């Protein structure tokens, strides 16, 4: 199920939402450097996401630095966890908190549906 096109599309939307949450956090806390902070946080997260990949993982593709499966899983969960935390700590309004809960639940659903990939990553 992890490599089903619908699940991969769902994963892509989660990634975009998480990057948006990180940019929003940088904007909310940036003060006079809000633009550079928002862009820098997103670029840093994208770099880590793209550089550290597990070889032969069909969901993430080739990367620059081969990474063991458990570490890749930790990077993914840390990325989504940081996005949820960013929405909670932006202190923007109740909608940001509600979006954080929705993102957290969606990530849990995605990884529950992708149990075969999670098991594969842990075994690598």
Tokens of 18: 């998480």
- Whole-prediction pTM: 0.89
Q: CB–CB of 60/120 below 8 Å?
A: no
Nearest to 22 by CA among 66, 85, 65: 85
Is 124 a residue whose pLDDT tops 80? no
Nearest to 53 by CA among 73, 37, 67, 34: 67
23-73 per-position pLDDT tens digit: 999 998 888 899 999 999 999 999 999 999 998 888 777 788 999 999 999
Q: For residue 30, what pLDDT is reported?
A: 80
- The three-class DSSP label of residue 90 is coil
The residue whose two tokens read 């994963």 is: 11
Q: How many helices (H) and strands (E) does the chain have?
A: 5, 2
Residue 103 pLDDT grade (very low, low, confident, very high; cuts 50, 70, 90): very high
């Amino acid at each position: 199920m992890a490599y089903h096109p619908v699940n991969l599309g769902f994963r892509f939307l989660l990634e975009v939402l998480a990057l948006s949450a990180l940019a929003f956090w940088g904007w909310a806390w940036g003060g006079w450097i809000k633009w550079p902070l928002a862009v820098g946080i997103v670029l840093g997260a994208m770099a880590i996401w793209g550089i550290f990949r597990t070889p032969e993982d069909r969901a993430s593709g080739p990367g620059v630095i081969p990474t063991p499966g458990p570490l890749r899983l930790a990077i993914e969960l840390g990325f989504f966890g940081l996005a949820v935390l960013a929405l909670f700590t932006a202190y923007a309004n109740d909608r940001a908190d509600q979006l954080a809960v929705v993102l957290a639940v969606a990530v849990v659903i995605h990884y529950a549906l992708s149990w075969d990939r999670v098991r594969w990553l842990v075994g690598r």
